[in-house]
Structure 1
């Protein structure tokens, strides 16, 4: 789909793109490797392999013979949600829930399709039905939010210099009109504050839930509503926000960041993390691809803030990976089993522990996202999967096979752009 050059608002275009995708749902699926007449024997296996177009075709073939196949509806809806094809997602997830009222995953995904479009009121009754503490807490906050959420104003684009490149990029932003404060950039992040920053901004807890355990202590996540978040020349108003007391790594000068933000902010814009130029670029209108583009890859969004694409370990064919830019002093996360399978060098002599799981240093001779190739990249390989392990650790959560997570050190020579309208990840080099 070509992008308009008439200044159409980014969020409006995102919604139009979802409608247009639904209108073309009966057309042959882009990226499919199967002929139009072929019916895959096992679309679930194709889905696990990340061959979403082929899997969707297979599920549609199932619906031809069995229109009330709840699983096929659920998977088509999920595939559409991964690609921000909202109307198709809504149609099939709603049908799946109608046929199988106990399908909690589809209920949550239908709610997420509304959240991504900032239609928070429509998500509330669904979130209250899942029984998940996180959904219940966010549903409570969304129900108390008055007026239109995510109100974006100011310049059509803004470029904000990095304050730091390491341990991960950070920029300055303002909470509720206050003084500039430092925020880490992390594509696995939402909009997350320190307790001190939340208190200074005058936030009050509207809901909370326990979000896991760090160093043996439960983490209580508080939710509220932030009146104003200003990044450079752009202001965002009326935003759900969270905070907790988990200590982040200090900035190089020893001070603490006020928080972190990532994909839930980024998907409201055409967002570029320009590592090479050390700046964050947010654009509210589409832009043409740059001439020095090394890679233009498919982009999927799992959960509410986990970007996925395809990447290669060694010279093996591309498979599904996540993109979590928040990995400190690392360019890659994987498992020991996958590292050995793909010929990466695992340093068994220097293990560490993360939440009780052994983690080994690993070196990859070559890893790539399209034609963006890095050599001798160091990273981490976990002995076994557990909570909080990016990439392969989320295969069971998302339902498709992930071989790795590409993170901070990989991106340093590049600028990486996340386009959640065209659902493309672009990498350029200066």
Structure 2
């Protein structure tokens, strides 16, 4: 919280680091849920993060009952988590025929379209889902979005703590300082930078920022350059106070997941740089080869709710389970666990040191905790400083959560000894110690 009692951007980012994916972060399954998942119940398998098994179970339901809306929608959801677009479209379209006004199906299909840059096709889906701002925003974009110019760009971290900053150019202007965070969706700017770039909103809406109402604006950016990689025709957002001033001034903007899933990106924390590549078959082969030489095995990558990243990891010696992956952002923690998960795993919690922070723009309290080990593939941190938030709900389904279970999430400080590459075509995550080659 800021000194004046208002929630500033850093507080909100720290809150996001504490509870990012809070809606999707749940403890270990209870006995009943575990038994149902083991027995093949499709919804229980999905909640447990057994996505492939859940997909097969939903298909079996549909073979017996082709009119089962939940099975069709969830089977499409399984495909969407892994960016298997033909599969996702097949089943989500099936679900839409069964219930054309179903908001959840429309939101999932809208997400499926925007991931493929089929923005115009997403418009009726967002309208039916009740997301009028998205419908107007994507409906106003003409031509191919996210046009990639250049093959490889490298941008150095100008700082790493309390959050990383890199330089980028907006509409050909002088370099600006941007933070990045995979807990955010679109590229965003400050109001000042948006004005300098000559941006005009195609849609605006008033939202509650925690300290009071602000205006969120959405438009289209001609050019965004990171090193030798340039993206053109980019959906962009910015916020302003009622008087038109910047909501915050910690940076000139934030790069979210939508930018990164259009590229083959290495978050080279150890080398203090971002490496951005055009996602071709050749660059993907090189990434796999580099990872193999570094001894990094491919980990699964799932994308939920349009920007939340997940893979498999473990806490305090648990079996590998679905975990959140938050690259960038702000904070001093290595990882976060929700209270019940920490309690069940016997993690030491310091209840004498409550930490006031924010979650989804609202105040909450977290506590330091110290798992004996947190692990993502072969990347490990031992006796690390983490947070746990006992106030998080154990499972929040749509429209506020993903509906599947995770034990926690990996945060900013976990990545510092490593380089991490996200391959959104093969849907794999590679993590290796040391600088990227």
TM class by smaller structure: 0.7 to 0.9
Q: 1:150 pairs with 127, 146, 156, which one? A: 146
Q: Which residue of 2 aligns with 1:380?
A: 387
- Contact 1:294–1:372 (8 Å) recurs in 2: no
Aligned residue number for residue 272 of structure 2: 278
Structure 2 equivalent of residue 265 of structure 1: 259
Deviation at residue 306 of structure 1 after TM alignment = 0.8
Return closer, same or farther for 1:334/1:392 CA change in 2, 3 Å cut-off: farther
Counterpart of 1:371 in structure 2 is 378
Alignment partner of 1:402 is 2:372: no
State TM-score, norm by structure 2: 0.82
Q: Judging changes above 3 Å, is the alpha-carbon distance between structure 1 residues 412 and 420 closer, same or farther for their aligned structure 2 residues?
A: same
Query: C-alpha offsets along residues 307-362 of structure 1, whole Å, 9 cap, x if unaligned?
Result: 11111001110111111121411111222221121222211111122333221122
Report the CA distance shift for 1:121/1:309 in structure 2 as closer, same or farther (over 3 A): same
Instruction: Compute the displacement of 1:160 (Å).
Output: 1.3
What stretches of structure 1 move > 6 A for 4+ residues in a row?
246-250, 391-396
Q: Give the match for residue 225 of structure 2.
A: 230
Distance 1:331 1:344 in 2: 14
Q: Please give the secondary structure, in 1, of the residue aligned with 2:404.
A: coil
Secondary structure class of the residue paired with 1:293: coil
CA distance in 1, matches of 2:386, 2:195: 36
- Between 1:121-130 and 1:43-52, the stretch displaced more is 121-130
Equivalences, count: 379
Structure 2 distance, partners of 1:344, 1:59, is 36
Matched residue SS, 2:234: strand
1:22 paired residue number = none
SS at match of 1:294: coil
Q: Please list, as runs of the form range in 1=range in 2, the aligned pairs for 1:281-360 lying within 5 A after superposition.
A: 281-284=275-278, 285=280, 286-288=284-286, 289=288, 290=290, 291-325=293-327, 326-354=329-357, 355-360=362-367
Residue 383 of structure 1 deviates from its aligned partner by: 2.5
- Please state whether the residue corresponding to 1:166 is helix, strand or coil: coil
Indicate yes or no: 2:169 matched with 1:165.
no
8 Å CA contact 2:43–2:54 kept in 1: the answer is yes
RMSD: 2.1
SS of 1:110's equivalent? helix
Deviates more, 1:103-112 or 1:141-150: 141-150
Gaps of 5+ in 1: 1-38, 251-255
1:210, CA displacement in angstroms?
A: 4.1
Q: Secondary structure at the match of 2:317?
A: coil
SS in 2 for 1:230: strand
Q: Which residue of 2 aligns with 1:4?
A: none
Q: Is the alpha carbon distance of 1:343 and 1:248 closer, same or farther for their aligned partners in structure 2, counting shifts above 3 Å? A: farther
Gaps of 5+ in 2: 1-37
* Change over 3 Å in CA distance of 1:235–1:96 after alignment to 2: same
Task: Give, in angstroms, the shift of residue 101 of structure 1.
Answer: 2.4
Q: Provide the rounded CA distance (Å) in 2 between the counterparts of 1:404 and 1:227.
A: 38
